[in-house]
Structure 1
Amino acid sequence: MQLPVFYKCARCPGYCCTYAQIPVSEYDIARLAKRFKISPALAKERFTKPDDEGGRIMRHRKDHIYQTACRFLDPEQRRCTVYEHRPHACRAYPGTSRCGYYDFLSNERSRQEDPKLVITAWITDDEHIELPPPV
């Protein structure tokens, strides 16, 4: 039996790409190295950094919506630029029928008592972006 899915990645602005720790394995690093035609050692240095437990995580860059995001999230299209070569953690996400963005938006809609609420991300005092609904 297949579980119902309560999200559509195509309508999300890359919420999962902003998680502080996106773990990568040696196999993930090798896949990225192959994509960029560089050595695994160079891919490891360029695209990842050490985590607190001796593993590796994806490096982030500045993002105009979430402050930081995975370096491979396209800032305009809000899609992964290495989708075919993305890490296992990204391939397996969310692992359930719900994702964090869906839960966040559902909670805000419930709190505000507005089932059609669209979340706004403020960039500056005068500029904002409406974040799309997940479903």
Structure 2
Amino acid sequence: MKKITISRPKESFNKNCSYEIFLGKKYLTALKNGEKKTIEIPNNLKNESLKAKIQWCGSKKMELRNTDDHEKITVNGNKFMNKKMPLFGAMFPLIGLMFFNLKMVPKNIGIGIFIIFLIGIVGTITIWRNKWLNIKTE
């Protein structure tokens, strides 16, 4: 059997959420903030891919066949997606000012900003949903 050590550093964001670790479609374990676990991989699953998930988002897949025995794997959150992306939500009230005709933002510019904002939100939860977490070997 192959053994791997999976660790998650202490993070200020996502600290109350566990990262679920999957091997192929099989659930392995959950990692809490600052936790480290050693897992034995059965021989029939050693060619599967490893993936971390949090709610509907996750990480890219990492092929286990490319790793050595007793490999150390780190799972952490993408700092841009988890820390800076929620700040874009602060734009929403500013965009709302144009709907109340307060004349702070010209209507055409406000509509353009609103459309870009919506495209960014949809892209973040669909196209880039597998970039919220990083999984890498040490």
TM-score range, shorter chain: under 0.3
Structure whose CA Rg is larger: 2
The structure whose residues are more often strand, as a share, is 2
Give TM-score scaled by structure 2 length.
0.25
